Structure 1
Amino acid sequence: MPFITQTFLVQKEQKAFLWLMRTFGYSQKEAQKILDKGWLSQRGRGVTKAECICAEVELLHFVPQRLFLKKLLLTPSFVVYDKPPELLTHPRNTQGGLSVCDELKSEFGREANPAHRLDALTSGILVCSINKKKEGNLKGLFERGEVKKTYQALIKGELKEEILIDAPILSPKAEGKFIDLKIRSMISPKGKSAQTLIRPLCINNGVSLIEAYPLTGRTHQIRLHLAYLGMPILGDPLYGCDDVYSREFLDTALCMQKRKEYFGMERLALHASRIEFEFEGEKIVVESEPTFQDPSSFDTNLSNLREY
């Protein structure tokens, strides 16, 4: 687990936030956040901001683990990982499992951070800042839509020509986000404008390998747009399958056999395959090959997949 509770002996009485800063190198803002969240305690009680501490204290903090992820590019300002599927970008909470942040912070330090998000189920290119002074510039490129992203996916159905999907997306509300199916985004006139360009690459046995170019950056955009088109991505447990299967996926750890039976594939067949942007006057292009099989060798039951 990346978050662990450890006991420390404070030899000399001092302000709690100063001890955190001196002992672990936290900034004042980081130390205050730890105290606000109640992660530092003494004799079973959370330590307050103004409180002094001495003797034994318990600290819940993030201790990253090396995962030895594949690097596609390393510069003085950022690193680009080839993220495997089923791995979080950020730790979901203090009880969550491993994430890219484990690898990133264990190798490059606590101030290294992902520059953007990539769904846990999605594999492929993930850019992370390793230079705090340059982090704002790097993240700004993603926030302003100045990064060109390409994804590859296997979808149900035979897509024979390029299509632009233009359908507004309403993201799930923060409250109750992981309760039942509220994690889903939805197509809604109340949502934000969203466009995805889809291009077919090859077709076989009722399955298409496509490239997707998100022109906007909404939550689950490619997955939702393709399901809305009636061509859900294989292996998607949220979009394009029966609600009862989605609930079972969220509530239990499904075996690979059931995931293939319910969703058409053991994993989500969506891969961030190319990224292109300009950083400090240099054009950056990074590519990654998807690890899922191509349609020419595909053979599975697609009967459980449906339009969203």
Structure 2
Amino acid sequence: MLRPQPLPILYQSDDLVAINKPHGLLVHRSPIASDASEFAVQLLRDQLGQRVYPVHRLDRKTGGVLLFALNESMNSAMQQQFADGLVTKTYVAIVRGFTPDEQTIDYPLRRDDRPDEPVFQESVTVLNTLRRTEISLPSGKHATSRYSLVELRPLTGRMHQLRKHMAHILHPIIGDRPHGCNKQNKLFLEQFSMNTMLLHAQQIRFQHPVTGQEITISAPWQAEFSRMAQTLFLDSDVTAVGS
């Protein structure tokens, strides 16, 4: 089945292109997702009519900025920048509960690709709360439900880092499986017919390896993220932190 719309292009030059990756789209083929038939690499290649190289990754259920190189030399240069921590990545997420105004989560994470070995890696995420909301939705023994819209900036690049760090501080991302809250995920499915993960890669910033120009690429929220933000009143300045 063909995707009805082309992938939304946020930025394009002679050697780089960025898209606003839809929630639910895999970046490339994976043996752990045999049910998928569409992949960002192939879709963008066909859309542009040329080979593309993903220089970083986003989880299948994460939407937002996804950057590709258009030649091998740029691919190598950008992958090195990501590896050296020279690319600033900013995400937004809707999470359970009222988060603190600011918090640095410094919590080592075990490597998923070595399940039989106790290999832990330094992992640091900076959190800033943008808005909070409390709605009249019973949850368990509580008559209301509380949620926060947070900005997350990973200072390291570990697999599922943001998802694991938010679960660690007991503010899991809504829709996250398996690190999130099953009760909240079920609640959102039943009440709002929402079955995605509310994590969005909002911006990346880096220095162009050839021109030295500072590049900032931002992605607007996609439909489902916007719908849930509106439903939970998290898109209104009324609930903004400090208001």
TM-score by length of 2: 0.78
- Whether the aligned pair in 2 keeps the contact of 1:152 and 1:212 (CA below 8 Å) is yes
User: Does structure 2 retain, via aligned residues, the 8 Å contact 1:276–1:286?
Assistant: yes
Counterpart in the other structure of 1:71:
9
| Structure 2 counterpart of 1:171 | 111
Q: Deviations over 1:169-188 (max 9, x none)?
A: 1122368xxxxxx9xxxxx9
Report the CA distance between 1:69 and its aligned residue: 0.2
Partner SS for 1:201: strand
Q: Alignment partner for residue 289 of structure 1, among 212, 220, 228?
A: 220
Q: Distance in 2 between matches of 1:263 and 1:170?
A: 34
Contact kept, 8 Å, 2:53 with 2:69, in 1: the verdict is yes
Q: 1:173 to 1:233 in 2, by over 3 A?
A: same
Partner residue in 1 for 2:56: 116
Shift of 1:258: 7.8
Gaps of 5+ in 2: 135-145, 234-243
Matched residue SS, 2:120? coil
Quick one: distance in 2 between partners of 1:192 and 1:84? 29
Q: 1:130 corresponds to which residue?
A: 70
Pair 1:228 & 2:157 matched: no
- Write the deviation string for residues 121-142 of structure 1: whole angstroms up to 9, x where unpaired: 1000000011233221122111
Q: 2:241 maps to what in 1?
A: none
Name the structure 1 match of 2:200.
271
Mapped to 2, the partners of 1:258 and 1:160 lie a distance apart of 24
Q: Distance in 2 between matches of 1:214 and 1:239?
A: 17
Letter in 1 for 2:88: K
Change (3 A) 1:282 1:267: same
SS in 2 for 1:82: strand
Q: Report Cα offsets for 1:97-127 as digits up to 9, x if no partner.
A: 2110112221345642111101011000000
| In 1: Cα distance, 2:49 partner to 2:81 partner | 23
Post-superposition offset of 1:161 = 1.4
Task: Provide the C-alpha distance between the structure 2 equivalents of 1:97 and 1:174, rounded to a whole number of angstroms.
Answer: 28
**Offset of residue 143 of structure 1:** 1.5
1:199 equivalent in alignment to 2:128: yes
Deviations 1:199-223 (A, max 9, x none): 0000001110000000000000001
Deviations 1:42-70 (A, max 9, x none): xxxxxxxxxxxxxxxxxxxxxx9896100
Task: Identify which of 16, 19, 27 aligns with 1:89.
Answer: 27
Query: Which of 1 and 2 has greater Rg?
Result: 1
Measure, in 1, the Cα distance between the counterparts of 2:7 and 2:95.
27
**Which whole-Å CA distance do the structure 1 matches of 2:50 and 2:78 have between them?**
17
CA spacing shift, 1:196–1:296, aligned 2, 3 Å:
same
Q: Which has the higher contact order (CA 8 A, sep 6+)?
A: 2
Contact 2:7–2:44 (Cα < 8 Å) also in 1:
no
Residues 218-254 of structure 1 show CA distances to partners (whole Å, capped at 9, x for unaligned) of 0000010001100000111211335xx8xxxxxxxxx
Tell me, in whole angstroms, the C-alpha distance in 2 between the residues paired with 1:234 and 1:264.
13
Once the two structures are TM-superposed, the CA of residue 155 in structure 1 deviates from its matched residue by 0.4
Range with greater deviation from structure 2 (120-129 or 99-108): 99-108
TM-score (norm 1): 0.62
Percentage identity across aligned positions?
Answer: 30
RMSD after superposition: 3.1
1:288 maps to a residue whose letter is: A
Q: Which residue of 1 aligns with 2:47?
A: 107
CA distance in 2, matches of 1:257, 1:130: 41
Task: Give CA deviations for 1:146-196 in whole Å, capped at 9, x if unaligned.
Answer: 100000000000113100001111122368xxxxxx9xxxxx974100000
Residue 259 and residue 92 in structure 1: after superposition, are their counterparts in 2 closer, same or farther (change >3 A)? farther
| Distance in 1, Cα, partners of 2:44 & 2:85 | 24
- Contact conserved, 2:25 with 2:40, CA < 8 A, in 1? yes
Q: Deviations over 1:262-301 (max 9, x none)?
A: 99942100000011000121110011122314656328xx
Structure 1: runs of 5 or more not aligned: 2-63, 176-181, 183-187, 246-255, 300-308
